[in-house]
A and B are shown apart, each in its own frame.
Chain A
Amino acid sequence: MTTLRPFDVMDMFKFNNVNLDINTETYGFQFYLHYMMNYPEYYQVAEHPNGEIMAYVMGKIEGRDTNWHGHVTALSVAPNFRRLGLAAYMMEFLERTSEARRAYFVDLFVRVSNKIAIELYKKLGYVVYRQIIGYYTGDRDEDAFDMRKSLSRDPEKKAMVPLNYLVHSRDVD
């Protein structure tokens, strides 16, 4: 049962069941409001009939020329609502939105240790494009994988050709 609706700022007062996940970051107001204002179609919440937030996806569209792409900034599912295909559904939604905006590809960053997520993205057609050294900082310093999936505007899948060298986080464009 997957129903998406636009994120509302008041959701921030009740998304703890999602955001307490160890792999989900909680940001300041400005971060969430920036996406809500500028990329509302990329910011969707899945809500259970009992009113609980099941999951949310946050993304944007950016870049120039052939680098015009959709980006998944955050994707998180509450523990009690897992194994429902929500992540796949939300990714599909974001991909469709990116297609409509004529993006060349969709990308995302994921912790190299988050095996479950990496496996999921691979099943959805994403490949590891590059490894970003030191992308995650703080208590859990870690590299990230930049994973990509080409859309119809990139039929030759040029965006998915992996880089053969590591990239430092400060050099990520």
Chain B
Amino acid sequence: MSKAELAVLERRLRPIYDSLDSQQFKKALSDCDKVLKKHPNTSAAKVLKALTLIRLEKLADATEILEALDVPGAHHDELTLQAFVHCYRDSNQHMKVVTLYERIIQVDPSEHNLTQLFMAYSREKMYKEQQKIGMRLYKDFGNAPYYFWSVMSLIMQAQENPELGKKMLLPLADKMCQTQVEKSGYTEGSSAELDLQLLILEGQEKWKECAAFLDRPQASVLPMAPYNLVEKGMDFLMKDKQYKRVDQLAMEAVTKMPDNWNLWKIITESTICQIEQCLESDNKENIELAHNFVKRLGLLIEKVQKQVGYKSRAPFIATFFAYKQIGKLTKQIPDMDDMTSIFGEQVDKMLEYAKNFYKKPVCFADLQMFFCDLTSEQKSNFLKGIDLWIGEVSAKDDVEGDESKVWAIILTERCRRALGEYEKMDAAGHRSLFQQCIAQIAAPERTEHAQGVLCNLTVSHLWDAYRKENDLTKFYEMILLLEFVAASNKTDPMCKLALIRAYSALCATGRISALVKTLDIKVIQMDTLGHLTFPVYETSGRFNLAIIQNTQLSLMYEQAEKEIQDCIAQAYRNGKFSAIPRMTAASKHMKLSAQKTACDVMNRYLSSLFVLDDVDQITVTLWGDEDPIGEKRIDWKQLIDTRDFNAIPYTETEEYEALLDDMKKRTFKELIDISELRSTLCRALGAVGRVTHENMEPRLARLQLKMTVMEFKQHLEYCCREYPSFLIPSKLAQSPAPHHLSQWVHSGGLQMVLEYLEAAVKLVDILDSGEHPEKSLVGTRTEMATKLIKLIEIPPKRKEGEKLPPFWIVDPIIKSSRALQTIAAIQVVLRLIEKVVLKLVKNVPTAVPEPVGKGKGKKDKKAAEEAMTKALDECKAVVFLEHIRAMHVELRSAGNFLHTYLGQMLALEDEYIPSNIGEDLGGAKAALEGMHNPVASRLQRSFLNTCEDMHTTIKLRF
């Protein structure tokens, strides 16, 4: 197609593009039809129509159009191809982009099309095929960059298969690269060849050659700052065990850059490696040499410390690091148990560090790294020393505008907590400490930074009471304190994050939304911080908000993948090869994000239950975006934990790390398990609908139905075992928003759904054998009612004469949400069962037939009896369908009862927000009391809105 013709076509399609861009999909559809009416053979318009249908979630109709056009041997103009790509990407059929261009190059092997295929292979990580296309581009068009694309493809293959990479792929890549460089030299103004050569050497772990490579003058062209280049060179030397060379370079550099931690780290590690070599034998000379290495390190540290005074931290931390690393030696240095004479007394050094750097917020983080190296006696001595010091600091006069004393208090209290002193205090001591902290937080002219740190520390204390004693009053006091800080402190994000975490435990969705907006959490943060809020809208019964949140998340993931892939393509085009592996890793990280999958599954689940009405749309949504035969299933074991748990800092003892690690593993597993549970449920429900789908192969549909129901059953049983009913969500401050999986699997609701799914399996078998189902297949109405009554019994149980505990409303909210989900799921499966009956049973009569008159002869009589028998047999289907409809009535009744219960619950006199706050806090009580009314009001409003949302859901859906 000529440029002129292309321009004409583009003008013709302009209205469609505009409508699509402005998301006016119905108008876009109309625009497509207009173009096709005048120009019926315009392929681009047809494909754009398919794109519009995809945007309107009519995938089947779109697929019909695409399959008719995307056939071998077809010629397509560029606009049509672009439209095809959009269609396949929007419908998550990326492999079809590959297929599309593989077909295109058969009829039009242009440079552009081959390049497009190369990039499509890159996106799908088909590096072997990518390599071939790269080489073909080079041979056909002679441009050197294409040759290097092929080399890069080999490197990517090697990264996927390191063993084969070292053996064959990288040597081949190296040879190819060398050949091209010898032939044409290095490309002026580009680092392409150098990037490739370094990637190859690194992949081969040829560290000596890597180090030599960076020493070459040409290395200055590499995309690294000279500073980074030198350090990377040292890193290679370390890997090559050239410790003497490392020492020479690093020790010279550290005197010029004494605050460069990388240098201190590499010097210490180099020294340790050399000591280890010495200790491999018991030779006296080697032992002496080991001693000398330690002394040399000590002298260097001492020298630089004197050189810089207390203007730089690194030389002083080097002392602690040296102690730490030497302590890790598997074989201790003989005759050197006490290194005090070399490095100084460890506790004294730490106290000295604290006294000189306490004004720096980082001081605690620096010291905390080494607390685990101290003995109990050393910890005790450190605490005594710091108590003595803080006493001296406190005795000094206050200086207006100077917060030094506050930072001293912060450091002291953080050290005390980290070394276990807080745990030794009694309740009165805790209370007194809390009072003092509030006073400091609320002090006039307290800077926002210091206030934020104090608040974070104080919250740690109160969170302990909640975590260990389930003290909900103190938990509420913590919320009030955080809100107090958040109201006035505009720059500290940590109090807001902590509030989100706290409110997620209370299903307080309104405030969570406001805080997320205030923090401006977006883009990648929606993934790394998403765990703070992800399930809370679902567990709170705010299904529309959950769907909105999940939709936004899905769009973020799609956009991220698009942007990363565009950057990878750009990197190839511009010869920025060193960036490609890292961007590919980022792409994988996002694509395999556990939250991404969880988000998709949850959205399909909730949309099917509470938004969609058309049963066919429900079926498609439940089944998900997969190949027609459903072979491309979620690999749950490959999913990655992308959650950032460091966003909320903490001050805890060293044992807390183990708790955190355990929590991360458990909550990640729970995220996977609940997502898989939803997924298997969705697929099982969808499989019922697919039995009647016109495009489905009947045998396959039946097999899928049995398999998916079995999978759901097995996974549900697994979850029941793994998550016993007594299991409560993690209460660590850094824990993600709870999923309440144990509540869900023991609510009885999922078991009800399973019963109806199993009934559906039996139903299909019955109908396939020519028989009709009995009412008993799905149980009696009474049985259903009994189970539903138990399911929706959400009111809290009260002990005689006692008030309900604070925040008692949270559990009923969660139960209500899950109950609604169960009722909706049963409704869906019953609707699908109805459709199965209507579809598979032919000539279902509308009513029980009347008896016919007696025939005159034996023959007629027999025929009449047979007709009656057949009619009565067919009546079973009618009776069955009527029974299903009666069950729908029962579901609606359950929904209405739940509605009533929710209303009654709100009318209960028991307060669900603590009012006895601030006891024993003296003057600090005022700060909390001032926040009580607005916070309580917001919580009440949030709970009310939650109940109203569920009211609305009940009215609309049942």
Contact = CB atoms under 8 A, between A and B. Distances in A.
B525 interface: yes
B523 A41 contact: no
Contacts of A9: 579, 582-583, 585-586
Interface stretch (A47-55, A65-73, A123-131, A157-165): A47-55
A16 B449 contact: no
B369 A41 contact: no
A14 B525 CA distance: 9
Contacts of A84: 313, 360, 362
B646 A14 contact: yes
B152 to A, nearest CB: 14
A13 B579 contact: no
Nearest to B496: A20
B790 interface: no
Contact of A17 (B228, B262, B314, B646): B646
Sorting the interface of chain A by its residue count into under 10, 10 to 19, 20 to 34 or 35 or more gives: 35 or more
Contacts of A44: 225, 228
Interface of B: 223-228, 231, 259-262, 265, 312-314, 317, 321, 359-362, 365-366, 368-369, 449, 452-453, 490-494, 497, 519-520, 522-525, 527-529, 559-560, 563-564, 566-567, 570-571, 574, 576, 579, 582-583, 585-586, 589, 642, 644, 646-647, 649
Nearest to B369: A50
B359 to A, nearest CB: 7
Nearest to A31: B563
Interface of A: 1-6, 8-10, 12-14, 16-17, 19-23, 26-30, 33-34, 36-38, 40-41, 44, 48-50, 52, 54, 79-84, 93, 97, 100, 139
Most chain B CB within 10 A, of A20, A54, A82, is at: A20
Contacts of B314: 1-2
A1 B317 contact: yes
Contacts of B449: 79, 82
Contacts of A30: 563-564, 566-567
A1 B319 CA distance: 14
Contacts of B576: 37-38
A29 B567 contact: yes
A29 B224 CA distance: 21
A10 B589 contact: yes
Most chain B CB within 10 A, of A9, A14, A93, is at: A9
Nearest to A41: B225
Nearest to A5: B228
B579 A36 contact: yes
B262 A5 contact: yes
Nearest to B357: A84
A83 B227 contact: no
Contact of B519 (A5, A20, A79, A80): A20
A77 B800 CA distance: 56
A82 B571 contact: no
A49 B368 CA distance: 11
Given A5-B231, A6-B225, A34-B567, A83 B359 contact: yes
Given A33-B563, A41-B224, A80-B362, A26 B525 contact: yes
Contacts of A12: 524, 586
B523 A52 contact: no
A21 B493 contact: yes
Nearest to B586: A9
Contacts of B560: 28-29
A158 B357 CA distance: 41
Most chain B CB within 10 A, of A13, A22, A52, A54, is at: A13
22 contacts: A1-B313, A2-B259, A6-B225, A9-B583, A9-B586, A10-B586, A16-B528, A16-B529, A17-B649, A20-B519, A20-B647, A27-B523, A28-B523, A29-B523, A29-B560, A29-B564, A29-B567, A37-B576, A41-B228, A81-B361, A81-B362, A84-B360
Contact of A13 (B223, B225, B493, B642): B642
A29 B449 CA distance: 29
Nearest to B228: A6
B524 to A, nearest CB: 5
A50 B321 CA distance: 11
A3 B235 CA distance: 14
B647 to A, nearest CB: 4
Contact of B262 (A3, A14, A41, A97): A3
B311 to A, nearest CB: 9
Nearest to A116: B491
A97 B589 CA distance: 32
